[in-house]
Amino acid sequence: DGGITQSPKYLFRKEGQNVTLSCEQNLNHDAMYWYRQDPGQGLRLIYYSQIVNDFQKGDIAEGYSVSREKKESFPLTVTSAQKNPTAFYLCASNYPGQSPTGELFFGEGSRLTVL
């Protein structure tokens, strides 16, 4: 079945450590996104990528990095520079040209806790 797979589902990290969250999709979508969700808040865009080897900063990119070497994959690295990394991270994808542009297909999320 087509979909988006995120791993790990739960992750614990010590302060000062970098961690990489995986996101793989087999939907043949061009665009991929990373969002962060904190309790009681909406999703905030970290990074997005429209095509392979290209990506753009979202609203809260500081302390994060991404790569898009393959269409199917869009890993997110949470670096030690991210001051408050404990959150629920959601990866999503879609066809940017679909009309109306909107439906995002989400992975099940990765819950990161910094100890």
Q: Using CB under 8 A as the criterion, which residues of the chain lie in contact with another protein when the complex forms?
A: 31, 33, 35, 40-45, 48, 50, 56, 58, 88, 90, 96-97, 100-104, 106-109, 111
**18 vs 56 by CB, closer to another protein:** 56
Question: In whole angstroms, how close is the CB of 106 to another protein at the nearest point?
Answer: 4
Residue 84 CB, shortest distance to another protein, in Å, is 17
Q: Which is nearer to another protein, 79 or 109 (CB)?
A: 109
Nearest to 44 by CA among 108, 96, 90, 111: 90
Rounded Cα–Cα distance for residues 23 and 78 (Å): 13
Kindly tell me which of 17 and 28 has the beta carbon lying closer to another protein. 28
CB of 50 to another protein, least distance (A): 6
Cα–Cα nearest to 111, from 83, 73, 78, 81: 78
Tokens 């991929």, residue located? 32
Q: By the 8 A CB rule, do 15 and 80 touch? A: yes
